[in-house]
Amino acid sequence: MTKLLVATGNMGKLKEYQELLSDLDVEWVSLKDVGLGDMDVDETGSTFTENAILKAESYSQAANLITLADDSGLVVDALDGRPGIYSARYGAPAAKTDQDRYQKLLGELDGIAVAQRTARFVCVVAIAIPNHVTHTVEGLFEGHIATAPLGEHGFGYDPIFELPDGRTLAQLPPAEKHRISHRGLALEKARPYLLDVLSDQ
């Protein structure tokens, strides 16, 4: 069975990939599984796509395996696209937790009308295969930034990302979130390419 490496040490993310691509006949492995848990790749790109490709190609070369890597973040229109590619480290070093980061963002939007609080989650998934050109797909999930956090599920900016129906991502059950999220949408786009690649193995 073909091994498929997900470039993460986060077992929750690995599980999410497995659930979203459950029809693939592969052996799912993480960075820890292939001895690369301590390998860091500098995300020096200026876009989600560049950083996803950097990670996918670096880990694919090191493991000699088909590798999936993603780069994702929150883009807020009223903040000229911030936090963008810096979503995971927004407000550092002062902001140390997810709550610190989303509270900083809420503070920056204080006084901004609801209609102007448009935002989207972006996820770019890169699929790197040794000696092949890396393939990328993008998922976008549109919404608004709420005025206050709500919900107990999810992580990151989920408590302040509001859907058209008024719920935040953190109020959705995980299975529902996976189906409609930026990562879920990106992986759905990736499926035909992966099926084609795996048929050649």
CB of 13 within 8 A of CB of 5?
no
Closest CA to 106 of 42, 150, 41: 150
Q: Which residues are catalytic?
A: 71
**What is the rounded CA–CA span in Å between residue 186 and residue 179?**
11
Sheet holding 27-30, edge to edge: 27-30, 3-6, 66-76, 118-128, 135-145, 161-162
Structure token pair of residue 199: 């048929």
The position carrying tokens 């690369």 is 36
What is the b/e burial string over 46-83, where b = at least 16 CB atoms within 10 angstroms of the residue's CB?
A: eebbbbbbbbbbbbbebbebbbbbbbbbbbbeebeebb
Q: How far is CA 24 from CA 36, 52, 100, in A?
A: 23, 21, 38
40 CB neighbour count, 10 Å cutoff:
8
Q: Helices in 40-111 by DSSP H: which ranges?
A: 48-63, 98-108
